[in-house]
Amino acid sequence: MRIQKILNNNVVQTSKNNEELIDMGRGIAFQGKVGDPIDEEKIQKTFILKDDDSMFTDIFNELSTEEIDTVFIIVRLAEEKLKQDFESHVYITLGDHLHYAIERQKENMPLTNPLAWEVRRLYKAEYQIGVQALDIIEERTGVRLVETEASSIALHLINAQKEGHMMEQTMRALKIVQGILNIVRLHFGHDFDEDSFAYQRFVTHLQYFAQRVNSKLQQGSNDSFLYEQVRDTYPDSFKCSEKIKQYIESTYDFPVGREEQVYLTIHIQKLTTK
């Protein structure tokens, strides 16, 4: 394979079998030029450029070498921490975001993230990567981004794990989860231990529930016996689940089935039982 375009010392565009490729590897283009063969032993990751990846080279042409290196370091860190291989789109979205965020910070006009608090609470692993990313960005570019940027970086990682370009749905899912947690908190009149096992299990259930709401995907049966058992055994938690049901149906036009309400009630009961 021969180099068609050099994005930086660690990223080149090539082709093979009539497919456009992005090859990545430490020093893969060092002292190279267009038309030179590449050392395939240095290739650490390869992407096939699809039609919807056409922005890859356009965006990366706007990024400085330091910014490109920063994106790859952050994604590599996320892959190690989350045990996940990301596709090419995260490099496009994260690279574009970081470039714009750095430019705004230099102009003393930092970006804001209205979901920063929710991301910090609900996606702790991704948020911690975002916190580390702020240090990486400062070390590589000399620019210190505001703290809320850790949540913005985390959002890109969250979205990338969903195997699609669905940032809008990711943000809506966050709002769904936060809305439900607010209902539970107000119903019982106090906050809960966010580090407890029951709370974490409840949040995980809500994240999957929010995905089903977004996808309009109903599942489960309408088991009357179990529904009535839970309603009678845990009346206060069931009343709270009724409020959640009304909120979801009125706000998102998604019918909440009996089985889903049963699971919500059980999770709420475990959360409130000390």
pLDDT in tens, 115-143: 788 888 888 899 999 999 999 999 999 99
More confident call, 139 vs 59:
139
| 111, 23: one domain | no
Q: Which of 161, 176, 208 is the last residue of a domain?
A: 161
| 152, 208: one domain | no
Q: Which of 144, 161, 178 is the last residue of a domain?
A: 161
5-15 in b/e form (b: 16+ CB < 10 A) is: ebbbbbbbbbe
First to last CA, the chain: 63
**8-state DSSP, 63:** S
- Within a domain: 194: yes
How confident is the model at residue 81, as a pLDDT? 94
Token match 């948020």: residue? 127
Q: Which of 161, 165, 260, 176 is nearest to 217 (CA)?
A: 260
Tell me how far apart the alpha carbons of residues 13 and 34 are, in angstroms, rounded to a whole number: 9
Helices 235-252, 224-233: axis angle to 10 degrees equals 120
Longest dimension (CA), the chain: 75
Tell me how far apart the alpha carbons of residues 236 and 265 are, in angstroms, rounded to a whole number: 9
| 99, 130: one domain | yes
| 104, 194: one domain | no
| 142, 214: one domain | no
Domain total for the chain? 3
Tell me which residue range forms the domain holding 29.
5-49
| 93, 129: one domain | yes
* Cβ partners under 8 Å of residue 69, min gap 6: 8, 10, 140
| 157, 71: one domain | yes
CA 251 to mean position of chain CA atoms? 23
Tell me how far apart the alpha carbons of residues 51 and 72 are, in angstroms, rounded to a whole number: 22
Beta strands in 25-166 (DSSP E): 45-48
Q: Which of 118, 144, 161 is the last residue of a domain?
A: 161
3-state percent helix, strand, coil for the chain, nearest multiple of 5: 65, 10, 30
Q: Yes or no: say if 214 and 172 are a contact pair by the CB < 8 Å rule.
A: yes
Q: How confident is the model at residue 154 (pLDDT cuts 50, 70, 90)?
A: very high
- Within a domain: 54: no
How confident is the model at residue 274, as a pLDDT? 65
Task: Count other Cβ atoms within 10 Å, centred on residue 231.
Answer: 18
More confident call, 216 vs 78:
78
Tell me how far apart the alpha carbons of residues 91 and 95 are, in angstroms, rounded to a whole number: 6
CA 157 to mean position of chain CA atoms? 4
How confident is the model at residue 147, as a pLDDT? 94
pTM (predicted TM-score): 0.67
CA 270 to mean position of chain CA atoms? 28
Tell me how far apart the alpha carbons of residues 155 and 117 are, in angstroms, rounded to a whole number: 12
Q: Yes or no: say if 153 and 135 are a contact pair by the CB < 8 Å rule.
A: no
The pLDDT tens digits of the residues spanning 208-252 come to: 899 889 888 776 666 678 889 999 999 999 999 999 999 999 999
CA 109 to mean position of chain CA atoms? 24
Tell me how far apart the alpha carbons of residues 128 and 131 are, in angstroms, rounded to a whole number: 5
| 155, 240: one domain | no
| 141, 194: one domain | no
| 182, 253: one domain | yes
| 153, 88: one domain | yes
